[in-house]
Chains A and B, each alone.
Chain A
């Protein structure tokens, strides 16, 4: 840390001098390094913005087609009906496109995952940041970060091979369940929440801890009364990012939840999520058909809910800076 701050002005000086020399007598590499570099980064930045806008617009247009086409589906039916019969002919009661079972499935599986994961992650963060910083930084944190590198299909396969039979044998039912899905997700989002919560606790000024100890508080009182409230909004950002990741995960969840189209009655009942029905039906339905269009509507819904989470993160983030401002 110390050497970094010492080095900083030096680098600035060298760069500034370099710049002046180049101005008086441009070297051959000047254009290449300065102008071209600037245009290249600007180009890349614009491409990223353009891609985002195009993707959102594309999903929005495709997602709304189902509600405005030649035989429109009622948005209310889509959002609040549980009847999912996209292949039924008119004589069998007509195709029905109610996505409520998927929406509830997605919300409940990611919500439960966070309930399982957050306490564990925050406890681990306290261990790494405060109680055992040495072994935490050198051992626990690298191990946790390894988790993020595991592909989601591996999580799904392990869940299918170990967790599903385990739940079937211990709790009864089929094993394919809301519980299995949320446990797999809880493991997947654990590193995200832990890392962000650890960063939040480590970023707190050491004076908070010292002041608390000086007033005679115990370590637990310091953690619980001083450090937690101070780091609260950043920890909440970590949790929200965890939900966002859980909400968008498709493959691992789809392998262990059983994909029954119904509202879950208990932790042990099989469920469907928005992502699982999209991955299963998107490729096999014909582009432009109502069935395929409702897949896009679900993708749009997924996008909107994720945007909602991001807005929450932004609000939490701005609360933090406001607090900082008033403290100073």
Chain B
């Protein structure tokens, strides 16, 4: 009885102490947080970086572009990952942030495979998303109701698509479904007849059909040569010029290890290959 209660107390005390200790133990470490679209690349790059520098710790977190920008501006994170330019978010003091464009992501409008349309013009796309075109037969498709699958209004993907594909036109309220992640958007489009939405190129597999935009096929080659306009930079922001470990890691991100291999392997486009810029 005595032994048992003593052990129980020791375990209880140990947990209390260890929870506190974990918080203190972080030594030579930096935090990169924000965009979930960029997270896989940063995570893999951080793992490789830490293999070469065993005493460094790079903590990679999601949270969304807004969180990343807020945290880096407030000093809560060393690097803020974002899908959009800091200038595009109001309430962020973008002047104090330094932009590091690490790669490019292409986006495409995708439809359910039963929709036989293969090309849309910008005007048709705007009419679809603003609710003027409600049936696919109006643009030469099957007699099928248009079902719009959006990302949340705060999503970076949605902002990019609205800006470059829809020419800034606001989607009509209440006519679309909204799905939180690209994975759910793809699953929903694949299963819902007449569905249309948009995805990063790396997400567009054979379960959905990617549409040509103004007659241009969404391929990496067409993005790098500037023919296909729906793409955006992935940014890693620092507050002021990066120093120490943050600087080393950002140099690594821009170096041949990441830009030459990892970026393409994960479906992103290296910034160095872009023949156009924004």
A residues touching B (Cβ–Cβ < 8 Å)? Answer: 29, 32-33, 36-37, 40, 83-88, 92, 160, 164-165, 168, 174-176, 254-255, 258-262, 270, 272, 279-289, 291-292
Rounded to whole angstroms, the CA-CA distance of A176 and B191 in the bound complex is: 12
User: Which chain B residues in 79-120 approach chain A with CB under 8 Å?
Assistant: 89-92
B153: interface (CB < 8 Å) = yes
- Residues of A near B175 (CB, < 8 A) are 260
A284-B192 in contact (CB<8A):
no
Would A283 and B62 be within 8 Å (CB), given that A29-B2, A33-B6, A40-B9 are in contact?
A: yes
Rounded to whole angstroms, the CA-CA distance of A40 and B13 in the bound complex is: 8
A284-B64 in contact (CB<8A):
yes
User: Which chain B residues in 14-52 approach chain A with CB under 8 Å?
Assistant: 36
Rounded to whole angstroms, the CA-CA distance of A284 and B170 in the bound complex is: 18
Chain B contact patch, size range? 35 or more
- Residues of B near A262 (CB, < 8 A) are 173-174
A-B contacts, CB under 8 A, total: 102
- Most A Cβ at <10 Å: residue of B5, B13, B90, B92: B90
Rounded to whole angstroms, the CA-CA distance of A287 and B34 in the bound complex is: 13
A280-B178 in contact (CB<8A):
yes
CB pairs A–B below 8 angstroms (25 shown): A29-B6, A33-B6, A33-B9, A37-B5, A255-B180, A255-B184, A259-B178, A259-B180, A272-B178, A280-B154, A280-B155, A280-B178, A280-B180, A283-B64, A283-B67, A283-B154, A284-B67, A284-B154, A286-B70, A286-B89, A286-B91, A286-B92, A287-B74, A289-B89, A289-B90
Q: Quick one: closest A residue to B69, CB to CB?
A: A286
**What is the CB-to-nearest-CB distance from B222 to chain A, in angstroms, rounded to a whole number?**
28
**What is the CB-to-nearest-CB distance from A84 to chain B, in angstroms, rounded to a whole number?**
7
Interface 1/0 per residue, B145-161 and A, CB below 8 Å:
00100001111100000
**What is the CB-to-nearest-CB distance from B71 to chain A, in angstroms, rounded to a whole number?**
8
Rounded to whole angstroms, the CA-CA distance of A92 and B173 in the bound complex is: 13
Rounded to whole angstroms, the CA-CA distance of A86 and B12 in the bound complex is: 47
